[in-house]
């Protein structure tokens, strides 16, 4: 420990009279599989960032809330480098992976999430995903929206409670706008909050901690004491200011102070002490001028041949550069002692031989230059220390201003929930309220919240209350206590985003509406005017389908490759998932009995590692999917989308195998299937089972051997029979699909490889 810290520490202990104790550090043990890191992180952050985040645990929380990643002695960097969205997301997922160990129920398998583009688009990033269409504001809102998308709700009670919140916000647009405003304030502070968790290099950490007591047991708690930290701060400030005092100022203070002390009367004593600052300042200025003068000041001489008679004026206490040269020329410099310390010199009244040459002058100039160098070095030390202190305070205050935005946003959310008279919203605001209630207590978290609400953290200013900045930064050791409240703010954000979608789509050709959930033993999915979220246009193509309870339990989409069957089929599956994850979706109406199991079979490929050809992989996955559906427990309600069951063998064999598989599934009462094939045999399932309905996606035949996709789903087979019966037209369509003939081919979802997986 440095000497000055020891001295100030003892003073602070005496002032505060507090007993110091530290809590033992609780070790964290990572679970082998973690939902936030290994599932959400897999999709939401780049692989390189993910690997970096997975390798580290949250550093121990210190009294100054700074961490170190490595002992590398790099140059300290106090500049605030605000992390980008991906880095903030990675840091928050890392925090959640260590704070929240639970696994969400009803979790979709990773490949289902990928193939339905729930969290990532076709290019492997957020753009082009269903998540990107949900306009959340905060990062925690994005995480919550992602978590809900891949874990559809099953409970009718939970779904109806969610819809009650959505209905309230849609019916009260003023509350919706105020909630969005509060969430934007939280978003404004998220990057700064993340910086409190971002490790620093060792050199940066040491510099940031230089204004604090040592972070060791018995001392760290003093960093949270305003009194103790003020004593330390002002001591360091005065110590640094001492560097600006010229070398002989102390002597002037003692000399003039002694004169004032020994003044004959109290009136004169008081007068001299009042004048002391002026007197000292005047002496310092005059002394600096005299010190650089080449003329004699304290000494005088009379020459007589080779002898100089030197006399001293004791009333003059400063030695000029000319005086130094005179003393050096007569070998009297040794009588001065150290000229950098003593400015008084000997009282001389004698004659001495001269020392000719230029060396005495150079020596005098050299001594003065050395004194000036010391003055400049001390001034430079003052400047660098002040610069570092200013940067430290700017670093701390910038991050704390961000935290103040978060507290302000959380308070606005809390007040809106309490004043809106909506019990449904209060259920998602409990942790926010619990956090803010601490401000009325005297624990560290309460002191932190109260401090963040002061004017000190309205904006960054050099003239802010610096001890408060230091104390508040030390209190950020309670930063993890904000995570629960921010997660709840994320839940509110997710609800607000869906309410905003409903509101923004009112009266538009692309409806976004609440689903209607019913309690039925058998599965039911009835969608009216559903549209594809990923193909948002001014006038989107809307399609309808009715499966189960009053309609056929299963649907077969027949027709050519590239007509839009897969795109339409996947849009229905996404609509059902959106309804159960968020209570609403891209449709005019939906009637649904909550689905308990989602299955996706999409374009299996060969697996060389398992020695499986394309056909073998397709057949194995098809068999596994059918077996899983048949083994569902009573009370289950499943939805399966199956695209081109088998393509890795001749068409006749593929037809028989797909027909057999679909017919077997059709007999299962608690299963719904939407299957898309280009084969004729499965079209017979409607007549053979009575539980399948045939559909097709209409394609218009235009002049000049061109076609037009309509993406419009139609009931029946009549207009698509050309695919099975008209060889010439089928060949023209296949030729039109070639990339050189059709610029739109790449957007057809059926061309995107996918995998069949049980949810």
Torsions phi, psi for 710 (to 5 deg): -105, -20
pLDDT above 70: residue 390? yes
Task: Name the least confident of 72-76, 279-283, 531-535.
Answer: 72-76
DSSP state of 745: G
Residue 292: CB partners within 8 Å, gap ≥ 6?
A: 320, 321, 368
Q: Which two tokens stand for residue 308?
A: 């100089």
Q: Which two tokens stand for residue 751?
A: 């061309």
Span 458-505, pLDDT tens digits? 999 999 999 999 999 999 999 999 999 999 999 999 999 999 999 999
Among 576, 561, 629, 631, which residue's Cα sits nearest to residue 601?
629
CA dihedral 154, 160, 164, 170 (to 10 degrees): 60
Higher pLDDT, 369 or 76: 369
pLDDT above 70: residue 71? no
Boundaries of CATH 3.40.50.300 in the chain? 550-579+595-758
483-504 and 173-195 helices, crossing angle to 10°: 140
Q: Which two tokens stand for residue 125?
A: 């990033």
Rounded-to-integer distance, Cα 445 and Cα 484, Å: 14
pLDDT of residue 356: 72
Strand-pair partners of 694: 556
- Strand ranges in 466-588 using DSSP code E only, listed in sequence order: 513-514, 516-517, 525-530, 543-547, 554-558, 584-585
Helices then strands, each counted (H, E), the chain: 25, 16
According to the CATH classification, is domain 550-579+595-758 in 1.20.1730.10? no
Span 94-149, pLDDT tens digits? 888 887 767 788 888 887 888 899 998 887 778 889 999 999 999 999 999 999 99
**pLDDT tier at 185, thresholds 50, 70, 90:** very high
Residue 123: CB partners within 8 Å, gap ≥ 6?
A: none
pLDDT of residue 334: 56
Among 457, 359, 360, 445, which residue's Cα sits nearest to residue 403?
457
pLDDT above 80: residue 733? yes
CA dihedral 103, 106, 108, 109 (to 10 degrees): 60
Q: Which two tokens stand for residue 402?
A: 């961000």
pLDDT above 80: residue 619? no
pLDDT above 50: residue 747? no
Span 624-647, pLDDT tens digits? 778 888 888 888 999 998 887 666
pLDDT of residue 253: 80
Rounded-to-integer distance, Cα 174 and Cα 416, Å: 11
Torsions phi, psi for 744 (to 5 deg): -90, 0
Span 24-40, pLDDT tens digits? 333 333 445 788 888 88
483-504 and 156-171 helices, crossing angle to 10°: 70
Residue 750: helix, strand or coil by DSSP? helix
Q: Which two tokens stand for residue 744?
A: 């739109």
Q: Which two tokens stand for residue 246?
A: 């010229």
Span 501-551, pLDDT tens digits? 999 999 888 999 999 999 998 999 999 999 998 876 677 899 999 998 877
Higher pLDDT, 12 or 598: 598
DSSP state of 564: S
**pLDDT tier at 276, thresholds 50, 70, 90:** confident
Rounded-to-integer distance, Cα 715 and Cα 695, Å: 5
Rounded-to-integer distance, Cα 203 and Cα 74, Å: 6
DSSP state of 40: I
pLDDT of residue 552: 81
Average pLDDT of the chain? 81
In this structure, the number of other CB atoms found within 10 A of the CB of residue 320 comes to 23
Residue 139: CB partners within 8 Å, gap ≥ 6?
A: 85, 88, 89, 92, 187, 190, 490
**pLDDT tier at 606, thresholds 50, 70, 90:** very low
pLDDT above 50: residue 9? no
- Are 452 and 472 within 8 A, CB to CB? yes
Span 131-146, pLDDT tens digits? 999 999 999 999 999 9
Q: Which two tokens stand for residue 68?
A: 């170190």
In this structure, the number of other CB atoms found within 10 A of the CB of residue 500 comes to 22
pLDDT above 50: residue 80? yes
Residue 641: CB partners within 8 Å, gap ≥ 6?
A: 569, 570, 572, 573, 599, 600, 601, 602, 673, 674, 675, 676
Span 407-426, pLDDT tens digits? 999 999 999 998 877 777 88
pLDDT of residue 683: 92
Strand-pair partners of 671: 638
pLDDT above 80: residue 364? yes
Rounded-to-integer distance, Cα 492 and Cα 140, Å: 10
Rounded-to-integer distance, Cα 568 and Cα 695, Å: 11
């Amino acid at each position: 420990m440095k000497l000055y810290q020891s001295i100030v520490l003892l003073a602070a202990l005496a002032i505060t009279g507090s007993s110091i104790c530290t809590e033992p550090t609780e070790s964290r043990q990572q679970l082998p599989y973690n939902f936030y890191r290994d599932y959400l992180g897999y999709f939401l952050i780049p692989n390189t960032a993910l690997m970096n985040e997975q390798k580290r645990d949250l550093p121990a929380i210190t009294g100054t809330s700074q961490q170190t990643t490595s002992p590398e002695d790099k140059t300290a960097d106090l500049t605030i480098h605000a992390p980008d969205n991906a880095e903030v997301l990675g840091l928050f997922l890392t925090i959640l992976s260590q704070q929240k160990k639970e696994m969400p129920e009803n979790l979709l398998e990773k490949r289902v999430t990928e193939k339905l583009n729930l969290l990532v688009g076709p290019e492997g990033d957020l753009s082009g995903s269903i998540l990107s269409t949900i306009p959340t504001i905060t990062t925690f809102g994005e995480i919550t929206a992602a978590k809900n998308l891949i874990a559809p709700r099953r409970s009718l009670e939970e779904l109806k409670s969610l819809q009650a919140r959505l209905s309230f916000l849609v019916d009260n647009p003023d509350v919706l706008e105020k909630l969005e405003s509060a969430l934007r304030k939280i978003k404004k502070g998220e990057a700064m909050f993340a910086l409190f968790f971002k490790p620093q290099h060792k050199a940066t950490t040491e510099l940031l901690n230089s204004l604090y007591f040592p972070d060791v047991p018995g001392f760290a708690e003093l960093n949270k004491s305003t009194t103790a930290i003020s004593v330390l701060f002002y001591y360091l400030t005065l110590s640094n200011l001492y560097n600006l005092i010229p070398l002989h100022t102390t002597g002037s203070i003692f000399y003039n102070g002694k004169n004032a002390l020994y003044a004959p009367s109290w009136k004169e004593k008081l007068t001299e002490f009042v004048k002391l600052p002026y007197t000292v300042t005047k002496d310092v200025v005059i002394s600096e001028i005299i010190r650089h003068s080449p003329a004699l000041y304290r000494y005088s001489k009379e020459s007589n041949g080779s002898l100089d008679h030197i006399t001293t004026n004791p009333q003059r206490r400063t030695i000029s550069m000319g005086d130094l040269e005179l003393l050096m020329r007569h070998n009297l410099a040794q009588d001065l002692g150290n000229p950098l310390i003593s400015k008084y010199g000997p009282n001389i009244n004698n004659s001495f031989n001269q020392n000719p040459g230029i060396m005495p002058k150079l020596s005098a100039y050299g001594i003065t230059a050395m004194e000036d160098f010391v003055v400049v070095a001390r001034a430079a030390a003052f400047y660098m220390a002040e610069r570092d202190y200013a940067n430290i305070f700017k670093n701390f205050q910038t991050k704390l201003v961000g935290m103040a935005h978060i507290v302000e946003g959380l308070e606005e959310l809390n007040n809106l929930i309490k004043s809106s008279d909506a019990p449904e919203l209060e259920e998602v605001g409990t942790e926010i309220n619990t956090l803010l209630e601490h401000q009325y207590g005297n624990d560290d978290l309460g002191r932190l919240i109260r401090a963040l609400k002061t004017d000190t953290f309205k904006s960054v200013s050099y003239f802010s209350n610096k001890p408060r900045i230091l104390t508040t930064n030390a209190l950020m050791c309670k930063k993890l206590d904000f995570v629960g409240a921010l997660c709840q703010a994320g839940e509110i954000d997710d609800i607000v985003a869906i309410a905003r979608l409903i509101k923004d789509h009112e009266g538009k050709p692309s409806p976004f509406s609440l689903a209607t959930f019913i309690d039925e033993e058998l599965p039911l999915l009835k969608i009216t005017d559903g549209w594809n979220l990923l193909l948002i246009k001014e006038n989107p193509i809307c399609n309808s389908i009715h499966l189960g309870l009053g309609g056929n339990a299963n649907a077969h989409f027949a027709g050519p490759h590239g007509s839009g069957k897969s795109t339409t089929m996947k849009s229905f599956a996404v609509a059902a998932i959106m309804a159960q994850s968020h209570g609403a979706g891209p449709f005019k109406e939906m009637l649904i009995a909550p689905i308990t199991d989602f299955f996706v079979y999409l374009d299996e490929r060969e697996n060389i590692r398992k020695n499986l050809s394309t056909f073998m992989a397709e057949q194995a996955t098809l068999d596994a999917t059918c077996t899983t559906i048949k083994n569902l427990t009573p009370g289950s309600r499943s939805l399966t989308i199956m695209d081109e069951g088998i393509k890795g063998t001749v068409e006749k064999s593929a037809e028989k195998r797909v027909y057999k598989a679909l017919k077997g599934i059709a007999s299962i009462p608690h299963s719904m299937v939407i299957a898309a094939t280009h084969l004729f045999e499965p079209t017979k399932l409607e007549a053979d089972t009575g539980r399948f309905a045939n559909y097709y996606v209409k394609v218009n035949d235009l002049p000049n051997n061109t076609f037009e996709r309509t993406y419009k789903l139609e009931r029946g087979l009549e207009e698509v029979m050309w695919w099975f019966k008209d060889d010439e037209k089928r060949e023209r369509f296949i030729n039109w699909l070639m990339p050189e003939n059709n610029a739109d081919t790449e957007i057809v979802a059926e061309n995107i490889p996918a995998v069949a997986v049980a949810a």
